[in-house]
């Protein structure tokens, strides 16, 4: 596709439910990032993939958060036993080689509301 | 650790006014600096960037200069338009190999006709 796509765009979950958020990066982009954006705040880094390898997961807030990118393309962010504090917009971004020198292109985000 | 601080908003200006949004940073090494913009209902878009000290990034009439001596990257535009109304985020990318971005909290700009 032309840009980064994310699905679903909106997700409402009851506290304790598991959710899965999908990211389709720009075709051929090696690097993929997940960010969490709380209301009225800037995005905060969660995790980074280079191809299928998860090279940095230092931003994941707890072991309830899990991300994967098994074939080096589509990525899924899973949140188990959701809590109200997980309510946020989850952004995915992709970039070309290495991620260090190239622009990150962001998707529209998934707005998660935990009731 | 690395961090970014932006001036709090909202900033409300009349059309054709001069805009400054302040951004300062704390980082080790030699970070790259960015301004991203988020228009209503849209995703984050890169506005401009600078990768080394004294570089000036520019795009769509916006400018920002990487000032290492003052650890700043202030965003400026000489004459704003209603269409510039958006949330602006300052960000840095540190010297690590992952390329992750560290964002400020965002500044909302509202331009009135």
Tell me: the pLDDT tens digits for A79-115? 999 999 999 999 999 998 654 557 899 999 999 999 9
Q: Which DSSP letter does residue A16 get?
A: T
**Alpha-carbon distance values, A81 to A14, A16, A23, A85 (Å):** 9, 4, 21, 11
Q: Is A106 on the interface with B (CB under 8 A)?
A: yes
For residue A1, give how far its alpha carbon lies from the nearest alpha carbon of chain B (Å).
16
Q: Do A91 and B104 touch (CB under 8 A)?
A: no
For the segment A39-68, what is each residue's pLDDT rounded down to a tens digit?
989 999 999 999 999 999 999 999 999 999
Instruction: Give the separation between CA A76 and CA A20, rounded to whole angstroms.
Output: 6
Nearest CA in chain A to B50: A101
Show the CA angle centred on residue B71, arms to residues B12 and A97, nearest 5°. Answer: 95
- Reported as a pLDDT band with limits 50, 70 and 90, residue B7 is confident
Report the SS3 class of residue B7: coil
Q: Which DSSP letter does residue A84 get?
A: G
Q: Is A68 on the interface with B (CB under 8 A)?
A: no
Token code pair at residue A13: 């979950």
Three-class secondary structure assignment of B40-99: CCCCEEEEEEECCCCCEEEECCEEEECECCCCECCEEECCCCHHHCEEEEEEEECCCCCC
**Alpha-carbon distance values, A22 to A9, A67, B38 (Å):** 10, 10, 21
Q: In a mutagenesis test of the B interface, which of A6, A39, A42, A93 is the best target, namely the one with the most B β-carbons within 10 Å?
A: A42
Nearest CA in chain A to B51: A101
Q: Is A2 on the interface with B (CB under 8 A)?
A: no
> Count of CB contacts below 8 A, A vs B?
61
- Reported as a pLDDT band with limits 50, 70 and 90, residue B9 is confident
Instruction: Name A27's Cβ contacts closer than 8 Å, sequence gap at least 6.
Output: A1, A73
For the segment B13-72, what is each residue's pLDDT rounded down to a tens digit?
999 999 999 999 999 888 999 999 999 888 899 999 999 999 999 999 999 999 999 999
Token code pair at residue B1: 């650790």
For residue B54, give how far its alpha carbon lies from the nearest alpha carbon of chain A (Å).
18
CB of B81 closer than 8 Å to CB of B39: no
**Alpha-carbon distance values, B45 to A60, A101, A110, B94 (Å):** 24, 16, 16, 19
Show the CA angle centred on residue A64, arms to residues A60 and A70, nearest 5°. Answer: 70
Instruction: Give the separation between CA A34 and CA A67, rounded to whole angstroms.
Output: 9
**Alpha-carbon distance values, A6 to A34, A57, A113, B11 (Å):** 11, 20, 16, 31
């Amino acid at each position: 596709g032309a840009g980064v796509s994310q699905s679903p765009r909106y997700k409402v979950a009851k506290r304790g439910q598991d959710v899965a958020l999908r990211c389709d990066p720009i075709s051929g982009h090696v690097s993929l990032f997940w960010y969490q954006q709380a209301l009225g705040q800037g995005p905060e880094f969660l995790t980074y993939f280079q191809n299928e390898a998860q090279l940095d997961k230092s931003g994941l807030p707890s072991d309830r958060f899990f991300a994967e990118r098994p074939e080096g393309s589509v990525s899924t962010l899973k949140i188990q036993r959701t809590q109200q504090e997980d309510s946020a917009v989850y952004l995915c971004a992709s970039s070309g080689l290495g991620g260090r020198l190239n622009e990150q292109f962001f998707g529209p985000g998934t707005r998660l509301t935990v009731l | 650790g690395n961090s970014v601080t932006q001036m709090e908003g909202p900033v409300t200006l009349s059309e054709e006014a001069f805009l400054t949004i302040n951004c300062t940073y704390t980082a080790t090494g030699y970070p790259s600096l960015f301004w991203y913009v988020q228009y209503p209902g849209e995703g984050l878009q890169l506005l401009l960037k600078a990768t080394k000290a004294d570089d000036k990034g520019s795009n769509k009439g916006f400018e920002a200069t990487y000032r290492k001596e003052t650890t700043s990257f202030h965003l400026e535009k000489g004459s704003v338009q209603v269409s510039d109304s958006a949330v602006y985020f300052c960000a840095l990318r540190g010297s690590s190999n992952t390329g992750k971005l560290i964002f400020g909290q965002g500044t909302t700009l509202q331009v009135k006709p």
